[in-house]
Chains A and B, each alone.
Chain A
Amino acid sequence: MTKLAVYTFALPLLAGFLMWFVGRLGNRPAKAFSALTSLITTVLAGKVLLSLLKGSSIVVVFGGWRPPLGINFFLDPLAGLWLFSVNVLMFLAVIGSGTRYSWRFYGLLMILLAGLNGLIMSGDLFNVFVFFEIVCLVSFALVAYYRKRESIEAGVKYFVLGSVASSLFLLAIALIYGKTGTLNLAQISYLSNSWPALFKLVVFVLILVGLGVESGVFPLNAWLFDAHPAAPFPVSALLSGIVIESALYVLLRLVGLFFLDKGAVLLVGQTLLLLGVLTFVVAEIVGFYQRDVKRALAYSSAGQIGLMLMAFAVGLSRPDLGSVALVLLFLNHLLAKGGLFLSVGAVSDRSGSRDLDRFAEECAFSDKVVGLVGGLSLVGAPPFLGFWGKVALVFGLLAINMYALVGIVLAVMVLEAIYLMRISSAMLTAKGEGRQDCPGQALSLWVLSLLMLGAGVLAVYGVKKGVDLSRLRFTPKQEYIQTVYDVSAYKGGVDIDG
């Protein structure tokens, strides 16, 4: 089973490299080739996820060296779920990306997929940085793809802020390597208990800021609101759907492994909770006043990231509620936001304007369906995943006696409901009968709607049967260290493993 995990990373890379040859045949074959690749990786990721759900976590070893020596991938059920959903949305975005993009666009998408898959699975600190760089660099290029005035401005801002952030992250890695002498996450997490308070604090803040810029945490997410609307719509669907989530995933995993010893749990939890609330409240209030449709969706993405941060912070003290909320919010946002951006983006491209009143002139029927289903599920209307995610989050927040916080969060959630419903109803009540550029778009939108509905029904069924979702959470420190390598056996002496 470990081979499949590696293929999900190696195949898109191979596809990216070979894209020039396929590009000679033209853009449509390139799109078909990348759709095929992402379909294969989705199937592989699905099989990996199934085996993870049944069995225990997997450690994939590279170059034949046992974990502390070489680089290793670590896959727990949550990583498997994240991997599978990332590949699903990538496949649907590639299909739903219409006919206007060159073979280079699809090459970059394949490399982005390889980078994201590696980022989710990686178990080595510098390896996380390299994959993070791949994802950042490809996102810079894809945001500025159109080279219009607006995309260049967004690309430049994103480039500068992203580069500064990744340099800070590299600085944190340097400090950690200097202190511990190793780059393997499990070993660092084992050694991190003995870090002095000031060192641990500075490294925590450096990693939080370094990865926070890319994952859209409150004060650092200014680039997000320029980049998503300016990017081509499949890219903004991917940026909102998987890229900022994967950056958040890595941030939470690193924080979970390095900084959660007894004393700091409270402090780390409260910092993340505060940042989550700030991200959510500011993003939703500002999003409420947006006339530009895609920009409003970008604000909603930042808001959902805030919710996920809060869910993780709650999960530290109440794992049964917090981690379930995190998983549900992630899946819901991935499907709903991916679908919304794919449909709203295509519709506003066809109608030429992104203003709330004029963007929906040429809405095809599948756009309307996704507009309705996506809007409802994102807002947390009953039958969808968002509803259960919101319920789990509110239960969790109340369980840790954060009453005022629940009041604020729910009041602001009404704002989000209003401006998202403005977009959905603008699409629903659109008069014109639009046609999509290619059948692939309609197919991907229908698949997304069915996934959302299916997930909703499954959730209702799951809650009734009381299915236990607690396995889908970040593996706690001790268990992570034990599965990756046996601490006692490795004392830094000679350990030949040819």
Chain B
Amino acid sequence: MNALDFYALSVFLIGLGLMGVFLNRDFVKILISLSVLESGVNLLIVSIGYVRGRIAPILFSKELQASAVGKVVDPVPQALVLTAIVIGLGLLAVGLGMAVWMHRRFGTTDVSELKDLAG
């Protein structure tokens, strides 16, 4: 019923993230674009696991536990995304550490300044 469902949003976020990484010159902006890219992929994984008209994979009641197969959304993508989000945060922490040092060593976080190593 809704054409613009979450596949479109996740592909939009992925495309936006990738473009952000390549177009931006400031390293912090690139880190932001990377976060957007990662959240796009995470959204895609979760929306792959979504089944219309079903509820979250918490089997709180007895009878739900008995006949849960047809009533519950796929739990596995949610487990994967849980891990992927925290991995994204780990990467971000390291990236920001590097950004601080890049600012100290190069005076700016402009990525186009990084051209000493070439050839």
Contacts and interface: CB of A to CB of B under 8 A. Distances in A.
Q: Do chains A and B touch in the complex (CB under 8 A)?
A: yes
A147 B41 contact: no
A160 B21 contact: yes
Interface string A144-162: 1001111011111101100
Contacts of B111: 156, 160
Interface in A113-156: 126, 130, 133, 137, 140-141, 144, 147-150, 152-156
B114 A157 contact: yes
B33 to A, nearest CB: 10
A153 B113 CA distance: 9
Interface in B80-119: 80, 83-84, 87, 90-91, 94-95, 98, 101-102, 105-106, 111, 114, 116-117, 119
Nearest to A171: B41
A164 B44 contact: no
A324 interface: no
A294 to B, nearest CB: 11
Given A126-B80, A133-B87, A160-B30, A140 B94 contact: yes
A391 to B, nearest CB: 33
Contacts of B98: 140, 144, 152, 155-156, 159
A178 B48 contact: yes
A230 interface: yes
B14 interface: yes
B116 A150 contact: yes
B73 interface: no
A149 B31 CA distance: 20
B117 A153 contact: yes
Given A144-B98, A171-B44, A156 B119 contact: no
B45 A156 contact: no
B41 A159 contact: no
B101 A144 contact: yes
Interface centre among A163, A226, A229, A289 (most CB of B within 10 A): A163
Interface string A3-33: 0000000000000000000000000000000
Given A150-B116, A174-B41, A286-B119, A156 B102 contact: yes
A267 B41 CA distance: 29
Interface string B13-24: 010011001000
A163 B90 CA distance: 11
B84 A170 contact: yes
B18 A164 contact: yes
Given A177-B77, A183-B76, A167 B41 contact: yes
A314 B30 CA distance: 40
Given A174-B45, A226-B117, A141 B27 contact: no
Interface in A29-71: none
Given A130-B83, A170-B41, A171-B41, A160 B101 contact: no
A310 B90 CA distance: 35
Contacts of B101: 144, 147, 152
A177 B18 CA distance: 22
A137 B84 contact: no
Contacts of B102: 152-153, 156
Interface in B1-56: 14, 17-18, 21, 27, 30, 34, 37-38, 41, 44-45, 48
Contact of A164 (B21, B84, B87): B21
A163 B91 contact: yes
Contacts of B37: 164, 167
Interface centre among B38, B41, B44 (most CB of A within 10 A): B41
A137 B117 contact: no
A153 B84 contact: no
Contact of A154 (B14, B44, B117): B117
B117 A150 contact: yes
24 contacts: A126-B80, A137-B94, A140-B94, A140-B98, A144-B98, A147-B101, A149-B116, A153-B102, A153-B114, A156-B98, A156-B102, A159-B95, A163-B34, A163-B95, A167-B34, A170-B45, A170-B84, A171-B41, A171-B44, A173-B80, A174-B41, A177-B77, A225-B117, A286-B119
Interface of B: 14, 17-18, 21, 27, 30, 34, 37-38, 41, 44-45, 48, 76-77, 80, 83-84, 87, 90-91, 94-95, 98, 101-102, 105-106, 111, 114, 116-117, 119
Rank and list the top 3 A-B pairs by shortest CB-CB distance, nearest first. Answer: A226-B117, A178-B48, A153-B114
